[in-house]
Structure 1
Amino acid sequence: MIEIERKFLITSEEFKNEAKKSIRIVQGFLNTDPERTVRIRIKGEQGFITVKGKGNATGASRFEWEKEISIPEAEQLLSLCEKGSIEKVRYEIPLGNHTFEVDEFFGENTGLFVAEIELNDENESFLKPNWLGKEITGESKYYNSQLSKKPYLSW
């Protein structure tokens, strides 16, 4: 239940030509405390509740627990969430033995694109596509829980 991921900005929207799948995501947060974030998400036709713990020193590893819930349950829980929500489309781009997930944000976060890759080890090597930009792993302002409170367009 430890998630290891690295995050990056992107340099172009070229990734869209390489995407094998895309899905719309709407999410809110019942709790945005960095020690324990509780997220409610509707991803396509599925609902989820996710609890995330505080990241380690690099920000690449942290506890994550997720459970699928029904769409009506997710909708009810979204109505209880803190102010601020996240709307995005997630693109999946396979490359080598990994899959990059690139989020294109909308609403108050329009213009922000964040790529992430899940790894088995923080130091695991992976192929880097030409559209991958600056690494932002551990930069909390890019966490969805923080973007819901201080959106990208307000920076």
Structure 2
Amino acid sequence: MVEVERKFLVKSTAFKALAAQVEQIEQGFLSTDPDRTVRVRLVDGRGVLTIKGASSDDGTSRFEWEREIPADEAEHLLSICLPGSIRKARYRVPVEQVTFEVDVFFGANEGLIVAEVELTRPDQDFPKPDWLGEEVTADAKYYNSQLSKNPYSTWED
């Protein structure tokens, strides 16, 4: 129940041609407390409830509990979430032995593209395709819970 992932900005849309799957995601947060984030999602019409614990100091790992829930329950929970929902398309892109999840954000986070790769351990080697940019794993402003409160469109250069 510990998630290990690294997060990167994406510098080109070349990943789209390599995607094995694309999902539409709408999500909201019942809690954005860094020690206990509670997220509700509709993923292509399926409901998902996720609870995440605090991140490690380097941002690579944290407790994660996730369960599928009925879509109507997820819709109800989304209606009572904190302000600032997230909408995005998620591209699942296999690269050698790993799969990158590349999120293309819409709405207030339009223009932001972030890739995540889940690993078995923080120091695991993995391929870095040409479209992968700067690593932002330890930068909390790229967490979806923070993007819901401080969207990309409000950032100053």
Q: TM-score, normalised by structure 2?
A: 0.98
CA RMSD of aligned residues (A): 0.5
Matched, 1:103 2:132: no
Structure 1 residue ranges, 4+ long, deviating more than 4 angstroms after superposition: none
1:117-136 correspondence runs (5 A): 117-136=117-136
Give distance in 2, aligned partners of 1:92 and 1:73.
26
Task: Give the partner amino acid of 2:78.
Answer: L
SS at match of 1:145: helix
**Count of residues paired in the alignment:** 155
Give distance in 1, aligned partners of 2:72 and 2:108.
25
Residues 127-148 of structure 1 show CA distances to partners (whole Å, capped at 9, x for unaligned) of 1100000000021000000000
Q: For structure 1, list consecutive stretches of 5 or more residues without a partner in the other structure.
A: none
Give distance in 2, aligned partners of 1:13 and 1:42.
24
Give the aligned partner of residue 114 of structure 1: 114
Give distance in 2, aligned partners of 1:127 and 1:5.
14
1:58-69 correspondence runs (5 A): 58-69=58-69
Give the aligned partner of residue 74 of structure 1: 74
SS at match of 1:32: strand
Q: TM-score, normalised by structure 1?
A: 0.99
Residues 7-37 of structure 1 show CA distances to partners (whole Å, capped at 9, x for unaligned) of 0001101110111110000000000000100
Give the aligned partner of residue 23 of structure 1: 23
Give distance in 1, aligned partners of 2:138 and 2:37.
15
Q: For structure 2, list consecutive stretches of 5 or more residues without a partner in the other structure.
A: none
Task: Give the partner amino acid of 2:154.
Answer: S
Of 11-20 and 23-32, deviating more is: 11-20
Give the aligned partner of residue 83 of structure 2: 83
Give the aligned partner of residue 142 of structure 1: 142
Give distance in 2, aligned partners of 1:58 and 1:44.
32
Task: Give the partner amino acid of 2:139.
Answer: E
Give the aligned partner of residue 32 of structure 1: 32
Task: Give the partner amino acid of 1:120.
Answer: T
Residues 72-99 of structure 1 show CA distances to partners (whole Å, capped at 9, x for unaligned) of 0000000110000000000010011100
Give distance in 1, aligned partners of 2:49 and 2:11.
32
State the Cα distance separating 1:45 from its structure 2 match.
Answer: 2.4
SS at match of 2:33: coil
Give distance in 2, aligned partners of 1:49 and 1:101.
18
Residues 55-114 of structure 1 show CA distances to partners (whole Å, capped at 9, x for unaligned) of 001000000000110110000000110000000000010011100000000000000000
